[in-house]
Amino acid sequence: MTSNAPLILSTACEPGSVLQARFQEYGYLHFKGYIPKARCENLLQQIVAQCEPHITADPESGLPMLVDEPFFETDAVWDLVYPKIQSLESFHRFFHEPDIIRLMESVCGKPVFVYPMKMARISTPKKLGYETPPHQDAHSHQAGDTMAGIWVALQDIDEAMGRLKLLPGSHKSGVRPVHQAEGVGGVQCEIFPHETTWHVSDVEQGDVIIFHSCCVHKAEPNIAEKASRFSVDTRFCDYGAPMFITNIEPHHGWRIPALNWESIFCDWQHDELKYYWKDYPAITDKLLAER
Ligand SMILES: O=C(O)CCC(=O)C(=O)O
């Protein structure tokens, strides 16, 4: 039997040492409304526009609604819309805004490096069993010790819409064995018998969750009628820490033929984020995660 407890709240005005201690204790930090809503709404509407006609913004609420067949990462519709989402300059820029970098630095206590790979998540209703299974990013991103994930809710997300859940303290047991599973990422990690309480809450547009590379996390199924859930995330590490080479690829660039940086950059207005990682001193092809 598993149970849920609410996410533990942190605030950006707490001292870095307090945030770092809480991060080491629970493996994650939840910041309510850290990113201005208008910035999230703007990105949400740009991303939803790429999903037309499969998902559309409700004319009254502006919320993304599934119009036709449900889909998940790697389905044909997703493969069609995802390169368009990846091409949005605003989507990549989102994680390089000074306030986001400041938050990452406060959690790390050091300057940080933001991973090139940026992820947009679309959780549609009626795709039960295909939600993200429990996993550790240390495995999926071959990450070293100081890597963390940063996840931002682009809209309010309630219990029906597929919330993000975290297993508190799970980062303390290292990288776990995995087995194949349905759902985003295709693998599931081991959960130990004593790990029965997950942390999860409804979140609001602009909420940020930062999680340790070994913190086990998963998504709940979206059981809403039509409401689709959109969030964005990336990874970061202490500046200079090794980053495994696959993280310099666009998300899903390894399986969607036309999804590469040249095509992504095609309509960008600015150059400074193009290949910003080329001088990063620690891109490695040696596996980092202990297993
Ligand atoms: O948002 C989701 O559905 C899953 C996010 C996740 O698992 C991740 O960022 O590693």
122 CA to centre of ligand 1 in angstroms: 10
Q: Measuring CA to CA, which residue among 81, 87, 33, 91 is closest to residue 56?
A: 81
pLDDT of 8: 98
Helix (H) or strand (E) holding 149: strand 148-153
CA distance 278 to 26: 34
Instruction: Write down the pLDDT at residue 65.
Output: 98
pLDDT above 50 (res 291) = no
Model confidence over 5-30: pLDDT tens digits? Answer: 999 999 999 999 999 999 999 999 99
Residue 206 Cα to ligand 1 middle (Å):
16
pTM metric for this prediction: 0.97
Mean pLDDT over 122-144 rounds to 94
The predicted structure's pLDDT at residue 184: 87
Judged against a pLDDT cut of 90, whether residue 35 lies above it is answered with yes
Q: Is the CB of 203 under 6 A from ligand 1?
A: no
Which ligand 1 atom minimizes the distance to the CA of 219? 3
Would you state the pLDDT for residue 290? 56
- Kindly list the distances between the CA atom of residue 25 and the CA atoms of 20, 52, 134, 149, 291, in Å, as whole numbers in the listed order: 9, 42, 19, 16, 22
User: For atom 10 of ligand 1, which residue has the closest CA?
Assistant: 137
Ligand 1 centre to CA of 203 (Å) is 14
For range 189-205, the mean pLDDT? 97
Token pair for residue 226? 């039509």
Say if residue 286's pLDDT is above 90.
no
Across the range 137-146, mean pLDDT stands at 88
How is domain 9-263 classified at the architecture level of CATH? Sandwich (2.60)
- For residue 131, report the distance from its CA to the centre of ligand 1, in Å: 9
Structure tokens at 15: 């001292």
Minimum CA distance residue for ligand 1 atom 7? 218
72-109 pLDDT, tens digit each = 999 999 999 999 999 999 999 999 999 999 999 999 99
Nearest to 78 by CA among 66, 89, 90: 66
Query: How do the domains of the chain map onto residue ranges?
Result: 9-263
For atom 3 of ligand 1, which residue has the closest CA?
Answer: 219
How high is the pLDDT of residue 56?
97
| 121 CA from centroid of ligand 1 (Å) | 7
Task: Find out whether the beta carbon of 164 lies less than 6 Å from any atom of ligand 1.
Answer: yes
Q: Tokens representing 107?
A: 């959690």
User: What does the block give as tokens for 137?
Assistant: 């990013």
- Per-residue pLDDT at 249 exceeds 90: yes
Residue bearing the bigger pLDDT, 155 or 290:
155
Average pLDDT over residues 207-229: 98
For 6-63, give the DSSP string: PPPEE-TTS-HHHHHHHHHHHSEEEETT-S-HHHHHHHHHHHHHHHTTTEEE-TTT--
Is residue 175 predicted with pLDDT exceeding 90? yes
